[in-house]
Chain A
Amino acid sequence: MRTGRSRVRGLAALIAAGSLVVSGCGGGDIEDSAAPEGGADCGDFDMAINPWVGYEASAHVVGYVAATELGCNVEYKSLKEEVAWQGFGSGEVDVVIENWGHEDLKQTYIEEQGTAQDAGPNGNMGVIGWYVPPWMAEEYPDITDWQNLNKYADLFVTSESGGKGQLLDGDPSFVTNDEALVANLGLNFTVVYAGSEPALIQAFRSAEENRTPLLGYFYDPQWFLSEVPLVKVDLPPYTDGCDADPAAVACDYPQYILDKIVATDFAESGSPAYDLVEAFEWTNEDQNIVARYIAEDGMDPEDAAQKWVEDNPDIVQGWLA
């Protein structure tokens, strides 16, 4: 498939060149850029960009290091998780840099097809849970215990929740047991599906601004938490295996060890970019800094990555050693 793609490139160049015959060659001040050092070694490095800012931060930091230190020709491809995994087999995606669980995809692409493999944790820990806006935690301090949720259910009634309290869920990509949780914990709530991450974030933003009640599904690391520090509601603590039967779940979500998934072809290619990916590891705090550069300071992801890499040479050298 890689050769297939270079054939496409060749054909494309031919078309471009053909249509340029009329315009002739330019002189002037435009100079061809030199081939990057060690480019022959690394070659193309295709990174999937899953659609959230934290992911973007991780991917661009790795991509920036790969381009500047290893001379890789990095391509970023904006893809939802499912599509990205599908791209491992066709050679269009080399790396998914931040994977949240996705046991079903692992089953299909790692176990069954063998087109992907695990490249270890990336150092980030994922937390999933139920959150309320900070003003609520202040005004109703005991609301952060799930046993008191029923007491406040009336506060959370909306036009969408059919008379019960509303528990707002977000993007359908994310793991959720919330319907089972509501039923099994005997809560007088109903799950309403916001349907996307922006909808969820906007809901929390409005709730804090207008001091309206809201209970919703959220997660960390997420750049929005540094704008509005949502407060987590404590569900019955997670114990090993308490979520084994999805219908009977009555406990909190586990901590997710976020990991890196790579294409098997890429792992076996001997590319220095693979070694970089395998060595890449950083903390939630690191990611949040870069995510904040992007989301709040409006920096270009590439510039944000550059800034962080320049500020943290030791960590970066550790990945390259």
Chain B
Amino acid sequence: MTTVAERPAASAAPEPPPAPGQPKPEPVRRTGLVLAAILGIWVLGWLFLQGSATLPLGRATLTDFQAKLNDLRAAFDAARDGNFFLEYVVGGISDGLEAFVVGAQDLLSQAAFPRPVPEIGWLGVVAIGAWIAYALAGLRSTILVGASLVSFGVLGYWSESIDLLIVTFTAVLIAVAIGIPLGIAMARSRVVTAIVTPILDVMQTMPSFVYLLPLVLLFSIGPSAAVMATLIYALPPVVRITAHGLRTVAASTIEATTSMGSTKAQLLRKVQLPMAKRTIIVGVNQTMMAALSIATIAALIDGPGLGEPVIEALQTLDIGAAFVSGLAIVIMAIMLDRTTTAASQRAEAERRSARYDPRRRRIGLVGGSVLAAVCVYLSRSYLWAADPSNLPDLGRPLAEAAGAATDWFTDTFSGVTGAIKDGFTYGLLNPFQSLLADSPWWLVAAVLLAVAFVLGGWRPAASTAVCLAVILAVGLWQDSMVTLTMTLVATVLVMALAVVFGVWMGRSKGADTALRPLLDAGQTIPPFVYLVPALALFGTSRFTAIVAAIVYAGPAAIKLVADGIRGVSPTTVEAAESAGSSTLQVITKVQLPMARSALVLASNQGLLYVLSMVVIGGLVGGGALGYTVVSGFSQAQLFGKGLAAGIAIVALGIMLDRITQHTAARQGRR
């Protein structure tokens, strides 16, 4: 606990502009002493009381509460026929979504009976995609989109890729339509923020395995339930980051505008939204990435897309095939990311450029549309332009190469990595876990409350109390403590990576360009792809679960830190440099402190992303809550327990979130 608690303090401690005459090291040192005292008491208590009152629960045992959740689901299942709301409102949404997705599939990706191929073949889809990219983003994006789309065919996953694009676009469109207005409302009103934030927290931390079954009950098996599952997980980033972007528009700018007599609507349209645009696009990007990352999970309820080949490959431990289908997801992510970013920058750049000629652009657009129409015609008429299996097949050789390379790597290094796993687990993870999970529950609860109070004051302490009460109520205390251990360790590692790489990327455009595709890959490649190699390297263990969480959560945190560092005004940095500060001083005294809100956001998001990997961790030996969630999805009689574990994960997430946020806010006030 202390490890994570000290982190925001350490990174936030230096005062932004060195204010002369008011050095205040005392409170920080005092906090440190108090924390050390708490730790001391805790260790003493653990020494004498370990093993008592740890509240364990057997694998197959259900508490009354969990059994009630089971009954609730059974009652819901029985009541769904003949319920007006479920049949017509939810059913209507479900039918509409399915019609939309299936219609798009017939048009673009799946054989539209009686045709043996879709209405528009691959050539036509590539041409249309490239044309849209040209219209929205420019020539470079046109090439990127064209090449990416062709690569889906060449890799051998054409229809699955286009299916995934369809599901993702459907979900992201809905997410943006709901998310941006909601973000604006949050930025404007504290009440809305107070109501919406916990809901977003739940959406982002509740493992999707928990709501897959209820979603299937509501929206039936297939595309509509897959879209809804994607939407639930992908919505929060765009809302949060929109609100964050609007809030960080400088107060002085807003004052200047309002003093000139602007109305609230004008302020929003003319000042806040344009100034926050860059951040909002980051939010849309994050939403897209989140949407893609849920693709494999959606495949578990027969959601169309690239998730299916990944899951299939996993069943036969076919690393090569999993890699190639995962690669297609990564390519898609990079394509969408770059194109949306370019689209947001284009309008501005054109307006500024003197050479911009609207007539030339119009000619380009019309010419492009004629070309696209010709390609569509060809793809409707000729099999070579319709069926992507006529493209050269790179997928198979690539899969074989990837499989061989992974085999070599794991064979060569599994001895070393096994030793690393053992060292880390025996040296750090096991003792820390014992401290949390083998101490009596009341001692750990008291420690957590005290830490929350010391670091953040009574508000996070109150949140902690509520969250701990929830964990006790759902009856999964010991499992929660094991999961908490893994989460804290993984988050600390994530933040360490985020500060190092984020600062590097924020300061160097070259590093940014080089690392960004890797980060996108880490964030979007389905964990199922690297689980098998990770298992070969580290065995089935909690350490493997931590590694998987870092691969997924690291990139998001790194990107946010990099964005924050880049947001630091260059004049401030120049001023510090000309005053003779060394690079290290510029980073630690100017850039990191001034990017503090980005750091908080990064640790916050890092934490939530780590928590969202708890279930994946459960698939590779992480045990505890993650395993319980999976078992609830897999066995009817454990549904209630799985849901309870999901609730416990949410409670852990909200508790950690509140403690870090308030700690940072308090440091900021000093």
Contacts and interface: CB of A to CB of B under 8 A. Distances in A.
Interface of A: 4, 7-9, 11-16, 19-20, 22-35, 51-53, 56, 77-83, 85-87, 90, 92-93, 104-105, 108, 113, 158-160, 168, 171-173, 179, 191-203, 205-206, 209-210, 223, 246, 294-296, 298
A206 B540 CA distance: 11
Contact of A159 (B220, B221, B535, B541): B541
A216 B116 CA distance: 47
A294 B115 CA distance: 29
B315 A53 contact: yes
B540 A92 contact: no
Contact of A80 (B99, B300, B626): B300
Given A195-B621, A195-B622, A15 B383 contact: no
Given A56-B315, A79-B302, A195-B619, 10 more contacts: A24-B380, A80-B300, A82-B636, A90-B220, A104-B635, A113-B78, A195-B622, A196-B531, A198-B535, A206-B536
Interface stretch (B167-175, B422-430, B558-566): B422-430
Contacts of B621: 160, 192-195, 199
A307 B169 CA distance: 39
A108 B386 contact: no
Nearest to B540: A194
B634 A92 contact: no
Nearest to A52: B315
Interface stretch (B29-37, B41-49, B100-108): B100-108
B404 interface: no
A46 to B, nearest CB: 9
Nearest to B302: A77
B358 interface: no
B381 A33 contact: no
B630 A246 contact: no
Contacts of A35: 114
Contacts of A56: 315
B531 A198 contact: yes
Contacts of B619: 195-196, 198-199
Given A33-B114, A201-B317, A8 B636 contact: no
25 contacts: A12-B103, A13-B106, A15-B100, A27-B381, A30-B382, A32-B114, A33-B114, A35-B114, A51-B300, A78-B308, A80-B300, A83-B216, A83-B221, A159-B541, A160-B542, A171-B634, A179-B59, A192-B621, A195-B618, A195-B626, A196-B619, A199-B621, A205-B536, A206-B535, A295-B315
Given A203-B539, A223-B316, A294-B316, A78 B627 contact: no
B60 interface: yes
Contacts, number: 232
A18 B217 CA distance: 31
Given A51-B311, A82-B636, A83-B216, A11 B540 contact: no
A78 B222 contact: no
Contact of B95 (A4, A20, A83, A206): A4
The size class of the interface chain B forms with chain A is 35 or more
Nearest to A87: B221
A79 B216 CA distance: 11
Interface string B337-380: 00000000000000000000000000000000000010011101
B316 A172 contact: no
A9 B74 CA distance: 30
B316 A30 contact: no
A130 B147 CA distance: 50
Contact of B421 (A53, A82, A159): A159
A104 B115 contact: no
Nearest to B639: A82
A90 B225 CA distance: 14
Contacts of B112: 13, 16
B433 to A, nearest CB: 10
B114 A159 contact: no
B635 A206 contact: no
B381 to A, nearest CB: 3
A168 B535 CA distance: 14
Contacts of B531: 196, 198-199
A85 B77 CA distance: 12
A200 B425 CA distance: 20
A9 B102 contact: yes
A198 B212 contact: no
A68 to B, nearest CB: 17
A317 to B, nearest CB: 29
Contact of B636 (A53, A105, A197): A105
B272 interface: no
B631 to A, nearest CB: 3
A83 B386 CA distance: 35
Contacts of B58: 179
Contacts of A31: 116
A30 B379 CA distance: 10
Contacts of B627: 172, 193, 195
A13 B124 CA distance: 19
B543 A8 contact: no
A5 B563 CA distance: 47
Contacts of A198: 314-315, 317, 531-532, 535, 619
